[in-house]
Each structure stands twice: as C-alpha cells, then as structure tokens.
C-alpha cells in the first residue's frame, strides 16, 4: 500500500527517506516548486518498479521530469497571477524581442515578475531592437512564481517580483560585429574588468559575494561589451518612470557616460554588476 503525505517516509528505510528529503529540499531551493512536485509525485513514482534497479531509477527520474515540466509550463503560469506574478517569455518574437539567456531559467521557474515589470521589459526590448535592428534583449534571474519573501539564491533581493537581471550586449573584439547572445551561457561571470584609470571603489576589498573567477575569464576573451547597445538600454531604462534602481559598477557607468541618479552602485558587500544589469521597480 502506498502511503501519501509525510507518512510516506515512515514506510521506507532511513537512507531512502534521507535521500528523498535531501532532493525535496534541493529542488525547493532551486525552483521553489520542484520539491512540492516531487513530494506529491512520490506515491506515483513508488509504483514504478522493474527487476533492474537502474531501469527503475531511470524510469522514475524520467517520469518526475515529465511531471515537473508539465507543472512549470502549463500549471504555474495559471497560478502565478494569483500571487501578483507573470512569466517572462520563454522565446523571443518579432513583436517581443525578449528571451532568457538560457532556457534553464524558465525550466527552473526563475522567470517570474510583476506584470508592470514585464511590460517595461517588453517595451525596452522593442525600443533597443528598433534602434539596433536584430537585437534581442536577454534576461537572467528574475523571481520565483509564488509568494513574496522566498529567497532566490544566491541573490539577496529577488524575492518580491520587482527585480530582474539583464545580460549585457556584446560584440566581437576583433571585428566589432554585434553578437546575438551573451558570451556566458548563464549570463553571469563574464566580467567587464575596470581599466587601470577607471573608478574602482572595491579595489583591495574582499567580499564573500564579489566573485572574480579569474580562471574563467579566458573563455570570454573573444568578446567585449557592446557599448552602444548597452548604453541605449540603460538610457531607456533610466528614463522609465516605473524603474526605481539600476545597478552597474561605477567604472561602467562612467565609461558609458550614464549620469542618471537611478543608475547607481550596489556597494562592495553585494555581488558584482560588471557582468550583468540589475533593475528593480518601485
């Protein structure tokens, strides 16, 4: 007999229960809803049994992934509005040139924002595309779909639907040709380092969140910041009434000659913002 709910774990060994609890916790941290999906699916998954343990594991894993994808694609977008959230698009179109830098952000349910922020991003994407034909605005981490206050790690503030990270625009360092995608597959960690003469308020200051990843930077050496398109985006966002704050590093603000007070420095204790743009609405 399959037991549902918290009593499910009482019918299995402590090792199995420990592994399942760990997975539920992990999926909850990563996706907010994945842990709940796994917990509710356990009675169904438990009925899948084959003679070979490998076949059982692979079938159960595949079934869970299928259930999870259905929840993320079909159910969450219908539930999220009740919590004041709406999903950003998974794919861009001619009408809305906006998409995630990697589809994983959508699969992990990290692509939810307040409706007014979604409208702002759609307008910004269309504005930049009109100024620079063929340009697609790409977003990174936004927020989870349900309830305020649930942390979207490793971010400190992405927990109310009002924040989103955007990728920089890049160009080929040799030819100067615009690149369609961000140079990092996840949008983060390809740092636009300050030049020796530029502002460096955090020089020689150590912070747990100001990662450097020096060993990774050589993978991005073929590209550099597309200053024209990035400045177009920042200028538009800084003039948008609903935008409250825009975080980039001081050396990039000076380099791009962005003088608006909304564009500011997040401080040395927070994550670096010379690999992406952080925006938030009021």
* pLDDT value of residue 7: 47
Roughly what angle, to the nearest 10 degrees, separates helices 34-46 and 14-31?
A: 140
pLDDT of the residue at 8: 54
Residues 6 or more apart from 70 whose CB is under 8 A from it? none
Start-to-end CA distance of the chain, whole Å, equals 52
In sequence order, the β-bridge partners of residue 225 are 170
| CA pair distance 75, 229, nearest whole angstrom | 36
List residues bridging with 164 in a β-sheet. 279
Fold of the domain built from segment(s) 84-281:
Muramoyl-pentapeptide Carboxypeptidase; domain 2 (3.30.1380)
d(CA 279, CA 254): 18
Which residue(s) pair with 237 in the sheet?
Answer: none
Query: In whole angstroms, what is the distance from residue 144 CA to residue 205 CA?
Result: 32
HEC-encoded secondary structure of the chain: CCCCHHHHHHHCCHHHHHHHHHHHHHHHHHHCCHHHHHHHHHHHHHCCCCCCHHHHHHHHHHHHHHHHHHHHHHHHHHHHHHHCCEECCCCCCCCCCEEECCCHHHHCCCCEECHHHHHHHHHHHHHHHHHCCCCCEEECCCECCCCCCCCCCCCCCCCCCCEEEEECCEEECCCCCECCCCCCCCCCCCCCCCCCCCCCCCCCCCCCCCCCCHHHHHHHCCEEECHHHHHHHHHHHHCCCCEEEEECCHHHHHHCCCCCCCEECCCCCCCCCCCEEEEEEC
* Confidence (pTM): 0.90
Any residues with CB less than 8 A from the CB of 111 and at least 6 apart, and which?
A: 87, 88, 90, 100, 105, 139, 142
Q: How far apart are CA 79 and CA 77, in angstroms?
A: 6
Long-range own/partner contacts, residues 199-204 (CB < 8 A, 24 or more apart): 199/250, 199/251, 199/254, 200/250, 200/251, 201/250, 201/265, 201/268, 202/268
Q: What is the pLDDT along the chain (282 residues), one digit of tens a residue?
A: 344 445 454 455 657 678 888 899 999 999 999 999 999 998 888 888 888 888 988 999 999 999 999 999 999 999 999 999 999 999 999 999 999 999 999 999 999 999 999 999 999 999 999 999 999 999 999 999 999 999 999 998 999 999 999 999 999 999 999 999 999 999 999 999 999 899 899 888 877 778 889 999 999 999 999 999 999 999 999 999 999 999 999 999 999 999 999 999 999 988 899 999 999 999
Name the residue ranges covered by the structural domains of the chain.
5-81, 84-281
């Amino acid at each position: 007999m399959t037991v549902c709910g918290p009593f499910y774990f009482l019918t299995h060994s402590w090792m199995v229960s420990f592994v399942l609890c760990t997975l539920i916790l992990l999926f909850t941290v990563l996706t907010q809803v994945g842990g709940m999906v796994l917990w509710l699916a356990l009675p169904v998954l438990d009925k899948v049994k084959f003679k070979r343990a490998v076949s059982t594991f692979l079938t159960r894993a595949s079934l869970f992934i299928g259930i999870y994808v259905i929840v993320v694609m079909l159910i969450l977008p219908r539930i999220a509005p009740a919590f004041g959230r709406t999903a950003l698009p998974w794919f861009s179109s001619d009408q809305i040139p906006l998409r995630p830098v990697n589809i994983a952000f959508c699969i992990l349910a990290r692509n939810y924002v307040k409706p007014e922020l979604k409208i702002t991003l759609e307008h910004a994407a269309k504005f930049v595309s009109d100024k620079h034909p063929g340009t697609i605005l790409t977003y990174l981490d936004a927020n989870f779909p349900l309830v305020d206050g649930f942390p979207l790690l490793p971010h400190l503030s992405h927990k109310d639907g009002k924040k989103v990270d955007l990728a920089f625009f890049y160009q080929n360092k040799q030819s100067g040709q615009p690149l369609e995608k961000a140079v990092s597959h996840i949008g983060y960690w390809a740092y636009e380092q300050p030049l020796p003469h530029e502002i460096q308020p955090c020089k020689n200051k150590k912070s747990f969140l100001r990662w450097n990843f020096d060993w990774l930077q050589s993978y991005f050496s073929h590209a550099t910041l597309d200053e024209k398109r990035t400045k177009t985006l920042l200028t538009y966002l800084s003039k948008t009434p609903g935008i409250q704050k825009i975080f980039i590093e001081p050396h990039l603000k000076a380099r791009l000659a962005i003088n608006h007070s909304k564009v500011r420095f997040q401080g040395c204790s927070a994550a670096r913002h010379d690999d992406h743009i952080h925006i938030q609405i009021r």
